[in-house]
Each structure stands twice: as structure tokens, then as C-alpha cells.
Structure 1
């Protein structure tokens, strides 16, 4: 699971617990200006691609860096999803990752928070 909070003009995505090990990453820091949008999308966790590095245990967990099949931008995505019903997709610009596909505790609250931050003037 990922916890999301803002620190000034930066949004911090903190990977919790054992997921740090599976995802090969403990946090991501994204400038607010580089967040295009966020949406609650439980089906996004079903995308597949090539791990680089990451962990995929079918039906249980998908975490880490993935080059998703069909991605038009040829940039990787960061995934950390165990319970797909809590999946949020964060679209990014000018970042290493094209998008974040993450599990959060309260998807609706996180989507509202991120979309508000994305819409706010810099």
C-alpha cells in the first residue's frame, strides 16, 4: 500500500511495509506541477508488462517498475497493488514514470487530493 501526502510543491508517495521490498522502492517524490490527473480505476492493476525490477505474483501482488504493453509513451509505470479495489492511477508528465498505479487506503480521498493539487496554479 502507498500513503500519499504533500510537502510544499512536492507530493510524496510512501510505499509501506513489505511492499518496499517487492517494489524495490520506498518512496517517490513528484513535483505537484508534474501530476496531470488521478482516477480510481480497479481494473488498471490487470495491465501487464515486463518487470524492470519488480515483483508479480499472479492473483496476489504486482509491485515495482513495469514497462506496460501498449504504452504509447515507452516510459515505465510504477505499480504497487495488492487489493485492486483500492487502485488509483496517477498520470504524470516530465517524469521518469508515465504513471503510477498504486493501492491506497481511501481511493476517493486520494483522487480528490491529487486532482485538486494538479488543478491548483503553480
Structure 2
């Protein structure tokens, strides 16, 4: 699973050496923060896949990794099996229109994008864990009401 780093200016998808080989990328993927238009969580990232790998790796149901090209669209994809994933729609990025990533940190990414972050890149899990909880947004106990007889 990829590591997601976020700072004031960009989202960085940190790739392991194995992920670099599968995606045919020599460096991490860096996306300007202002180009992120929408973030969606999904349990089945395979339904979001469009086009063909160019260059990339595709083992149906097991791995989809690399640059995927479709008519008028270029996506960066790193999907492993049927695990929780995040779909990041981009508007104004020069290279990609969408990121589709298998990661268990999707919820943390959506929360971290709403927060003010430092200029130093930090893991989205750390950002959310160390951020103060907004006033009035703490956990509330459910109200238990008796049922009418």
C-alpha cells in the first residue's frame, strides 16, 4: 500500500521499489494540492479503471499499476486485489486526470485535505492524529429513547 504525504502545496504518493517497477515510474508521483477537485472512497477500485496500461502492469483481479490511458484521459493507477481504495479526481494537473490508489489511509487523506498543514511533508495519518478536534465535533453518545408501548 502506498504512503501518502501532504504539505501546503502538494500531495505526494510515495512508491516502494516494487511499486516503482510495476508502475514504470522512477520517482514518486507529486500532485499540486490546488488541482485536487474531489476525493472518493471505494471498496472496489476495479470499477473505476478505464483505458489500457501505457506503460503499466495489469494482472486482472490482482494488480493494476502504472499510467492508464483512455480517450482524452490519463490516470495514475495502483490497485491491489479488492482492498479499500481512494479515487482522487484532478482538475488542472498537467499529467493526470485521476489517481486510483489502494490504501487504507483514504479517510485520513480526506480529513487531512480539510486541515491546515505545515510546509513540511507529513504522512496523512500523522496529520489527522495530531490535529486538534474542532470544537463541537467530538464524539457524542447516542440518545436512548424509550419505545412507545
TM-score interval w.r.t. the shorter chain?
A: 0.7 to 0.9
| Stretch deviating more after TM superposition (78-87 or 43-52) | 43-52
| Distance apart, 1:17 and its partner CA | 4.0
Gaps of 5+ in 2: 118-149
- Please tell me whether Structure 1 or Structure 2 has the larger radius of gyration of its CA atoms: 2
Gaps of 5+ in 1: none
Counterpart mapping for 1:46-61 below 5 A: 46=47, 47-61=49-63
Counterpart mapping for 1:1-20 below 5 A: 1-20=1-20
Give me the TM-score of the superposition, normalised by structure 1: 0.81
Calculate the aligned-residue CA RMSD, in Å.
2.2
Detail structure 1 runs of 4+ shifted over 3 Å in the superposition: none
Counterpart check, 1:27 vs 2:28: yes
How many Å separate the matches in 2 of 1:14 and 1:45? 21
Higher relative contact order (CA 8 A, sep 6+): 1
Does structure 2 conserve the Cα–Cα contact (< 8 Å) formed by 1:45 and 1:101? no
Distance 1:48 1:11, change over 3 A: closer
- What residue is the counterpart of 1:102 in the other structure? 101
How many Å separate the matches in 1 of 2:16 and 2:83? 18
How many Å separate the matches in 2 of 1:109 and 1:7? 14
How many Å separate the matches in 1 of 2:62 and 2:80? 6
| Distance apart, 1:15 and its partner CA | 1.7
- What residue is the counterpart of 1:39 in the other structure? 40
Does structure 2 conserve the Cα–Cα contact (< 8 Å) formed by 1:104 and 1:110? no
Does structure 2 conserve the Cα–Cα contact (< 8 Å) formed by 1:43 and 1:84? yes
